[in-house]
Amino acid sequence: MNKLYFKYGSMGSSKTAQALMCRFNYIQKGFNVLLAKPSIDTRSSNVTSRIGLTAKCETFSPKENLIEFFNKFNKESKIDVFIIDEAQFLTKEQVNELKEISLTIPVLCYGLLTNFKTELFEGSKRLVELSDSLMEIKSVCKCGRKATINARFVNGKIVLEGNEVEIGADEMYEGMCYNCFKKELKNNGCN
C-alpha cells in the first residue's frame, strides 16, 4: 500500500536485516526496489547487516532532493518500492520529499529513533510526524529488558558528550534499557 513507513529500533535490533529481508520479499514477487541510504554512512557502498545480509544500494547526500533522486532511477526502470536504511540521517526536507513520493509508491524507512544523548534525530523526528505507519523493532538489553537507549562508549566508558553523528557499530554503541543506562552513567561518574 502506498504509505510512508518508519520502522525504528535501538542499536542491534536488526533494522538493516529487516530492510534487506523486505527488499528480498518484494524482489521475489517481481517488484522493482530502489534501496538507498544517506552518504553520511561511509562504512560501505552496500547496505550490510550484522548477521551478514548485504545488498548493493544507492547513496544520497544531505543536500540532495530525494524527489529528483527517485525520479532519476524511476526514469531508468519504473520503481515500485523505495527502501531507505539509516533513515535517522535524513534531513527534515528529505522526509517531506519522501512523504510526497509515498503518495505514489510505498516508502519504507529503517533507522534509529534517538541518538546517544537520548534525543530524537532530525530525520527520525520528522518521520514520526509524517509517517502513516510507525513500527518499533524491539531488541533486548544485556539484562533482558527491552533496549531503548543507544549508548555510546569511548575507550570502554559511556559518554554523553560529542558530535551527534559518529559512524560505528558494536565497537562503539550498545542498545540498553534505561535502568542499565543510568547504572552505567553512575558507574562512570556521568550525570
Query: Tens digits of per-residue pLDDT, 76-122?
Result: 899 999 999 999 999 999 999 999 999 999 999 999 999 999 999 99
- What pLDDT was estimated at residue 42? 67
Q: Are residue 110 and residue 165 in the same domain, yes or no? A: no
- Catalytic member of 68, 76, 86, 171: 86
Q: How far apart are CA 168 and CA 30, in angstroms?
A: 34
Domain count, the chain: 2
Q: What is the mean pLDDT of residues 135-150?
A: 95
Q: Are residue 44 and residue 68 in the same domain, yes or no? A: yes
Band of pLDDT at residue 40, cut at 50, 70 and 90? confident
86 is catalytic: yes
Q: Which of 12, 62, 34 is nearest to 174 (CA)?
A: 12
Residues in the chain: 191
Q: Are residue 124 and residue 164 in the same domain, yes or no? A: no
Q: For residue 144, is it within any domain?
A: no
How many Cβ atoms from other residues are within 10 Å of residue 94's Cβ? 25
Q: For residue 143, is it within any domain?
A: no
DSSP per residue, 50-83? TTS-EEE-EEE-TT--HHHHHHHHHHHS--SEEE
The DSSP call for residue 126 is H
Q: For residue 59, is it within any domain?
A: yes
Q: How far apart are CA 48 and CA 36, in angstroms?
A: 12
Report the CATH number that the domain containing residue 125 is assigned in CATH. 3.40.50.300
Q: Are residue 17 and residue 92 in the same domain, yes or no? A: yes
Q: Are residue 28 and residue 118 in the same domain, yes or no? A: yes
